[in-house]
Structure 1
Amino acid sequence: MTMVPSVLLKFLFPPPPSLFVAAMSVITFVSQANAGFSEIRGKHLQYSKFVNVNPTGSGRTQIKISSKTGMVLFYSPALLAGVASFWIFPHEGLRSTILHSAIALHFFKRVFEALFVHKYSGSIVLDSAIPISLSYFLAASTMIYAQHLTQGLPDPPIDLMYPGIVLFLVGITGNFYHHYLLSKLRGKDEKEYKIPKGGLFGFVICPHYLFEIIGFIGVSFISQNLYSFAYASGATCYLMGRSYMTRKWYLSKFEDFPNHVKALIPFVF
């Protein structure tokens, strides 16, 4: 009855009979992949350096909020979902506990960075902030629920949980470090963009996205359910599109931008 190829069942829990999780797996992957292609086509989610890129089209006034407020709005609902999971689905085994911890830690780091690490140069369009916040909340909640549905199912023959923990820790640490480097580019009252330096910035313009992808892959290895792999795959597609356009933006703004610096993957892309 399952449409999942048998080879994947060596790595995944058998998909539970949940129409919601199955639908969310497809919707999440397709929507994120489409968002990545939209970035390449020039239709950006309006935050960071792309906040004023897209025309409004309809001529209606766009509501803007401070970048700090927008970033906190992005991640707080998902953080609450991660924290609440310990009470909603308690005592469901080591894998579920580690997954809940990874989700809560990931979004706690995001909120912490928004409040205390990032330095901001502008605002965020509310029309972008609300769907981004909702998407993170739905992703966290669905991942937690999908893991709950694996209770009582046979474990995958190949256990990826411990490699997943390593990948998650590498991803979250590398992401934080490169966000810290970005925050040090500007002085107290500076708002202009500069070419990032240090860490892997000498090889790619978006190493923070690279490590974010590594972290998402780590979470999918921890959980080993279909939804988490769909989310990690979709997020990779989106961040590839966003990083490609970020590099293109830097090339257009800085004549001295080094051509050997790739978008996301050193020496490759």
Structure 2
Amino acid sequence: MALSMLLGFIFPPPPSLFINTMSVITVTSLAFSGLSEIRGNHLQYSKFWDVNPPKSSSPTNRTIKLSSRAGMLFLYTPAFLAALSSFLLFPNGDVRLLLLNLALTLHFFKRDFEVLLVHRYSGGMVLDSAIVISLSYFSSTISMIYAQHLAQGLPDPPIDLKYPGAVLFLIGICGNFYHHYLLSKLRKNGDKGYKIPKGGLFDLVICPHYLFEILIFVGVSFISQTLYSFSFTIGTIFYLIGRSYATRRWYLSKFEDFPKHVKALIPYVF
């Protein structure tokens, strides 16, 4: 029963050991990363960039640190180039593949645009974390596009979600950009301190940009409707739940006046 309902929303899993294995690895690794965030083992970027320092200063324990701008460009640019190159690799794709390529290219272009022209930085990024995140984005992008390529020519799932997915994606990317813009306005030139964000959905949750990022990838998975895209989206949701929980806990520890009614990710709920 559950399987038949699932098959109403997705293409049949492709005869590809690579894609099917990546589906399992992706959802498992992202979910584990979310649990690690809750436990205090953070990927070292943003406000958590200098947590869990090495206990020894010996060369084998020394961490390599990047500037935030260089680190974030390293996160997103390989995935952006992979998505952009898909237009050359698969020039005769159907509407669904075209929409997926457009969505992924636009998403990672926006990320690079924000890195260069929107974000204000206060710290750095540890190279180890940058490599993990960059590989995750890059491998997920090429896997999603390849899985969609393998679905070419198959009948669409009984419930076609590609156009609702495109709408959700646009809502998500606009909301994500708006709240990143609000974050950038918290700091004046040269200011590196943290403040409690206000405006938009920041009055209800501390990570509305994560909430809209989830909408972005729900939209992408609706456009794609492959097993891999849904696996990546489910894993991303688990990770951002953990990251937002850790972020709210951090604000509570740093600001005595942090409003207790402000949730982590979902207004009034979590």
TM-score range, shorter chain: over 0.9
Rounded to whole Å, the distance in 1 between the matches of 2:50 and 2:87 is 40
Aligned runs of 1:106-121 on 2, under 5 Å? Answer: 106-121=107-122
Partner of 2:39 in structure 1? 41
Rounded to whole Å, the distance in 2 between the matches of 1:63 and 1:143 is 31
Aligned residues: 266
Offset from partner CA, 1:147-182 (integer Å, 9 cap, x none): 000012111000001110010000000000000000
Correspondent of 1:15 among 2, 13, 16:
13
Rounded to whole Å, the distance in 2 between the matches of 1:74 and 1:134 is 8
Deviates more, 1:57-66 or 1:9-18: 57-66
Shift of 1:131: 1.2
Which amino acid counterpart does residue 174 of structure 2 have in structure 1? T
Rounded to whole Å, the distance in 2 between the matches of 1:230 and 1:102 is 17
Aligned runs of 1:132-147 on 2, under 5 Å? Answer: 132-147=133-148
Partner of 1:197 in structure 2? 198
Shift of 1:57: 4.6
Rounded to whole Å, the distance in 2 between the matches of 1:214 and 1:251 is 26
Shift of 1:252: 0.4
- SS of residue matched to 1:124: strand
Rounded to whole Å, the distance in 2 between the matches of 1:73 and 1:46 is 14
Which amino acid counterpart does residue 12 of structure 2 have in structure 1? P
Shift of 1:55: 3.0
Deviates more, 1:161-170 or 1:56-65: 56-65
Q: TM-score, length-normalised on structure 2?
A: 0.97
Which amino acid counterpart does residue 32 of structure 1 have in structure 2? L
Partner of 2:91 in structure 1? 90
- SS of residue matched to 2:3: coil
Which amino acid counterpart does residue 30 of structure 1 have in structure 2? T
Offset from partner CA, 1:210-244 (integer Å, 9 cap, x none): 00000100000000000000000000000000000
Correspondent of 1:29 among 19, 27, 30:
27
Offset from partner CA, 1:102-144 (integer Å, 9 cap, x none): 0000000000000110000011001111111111000000000
Partner of 1:256 in structure 2? 257
Which amino acid counterpart does residue 248 of structure 1 have in structure 2? R
Q: Percent identity?
A: 67
Structure 1's unaligned 5+ residue stretches are none
- SS of residue matched to 2:191: coil
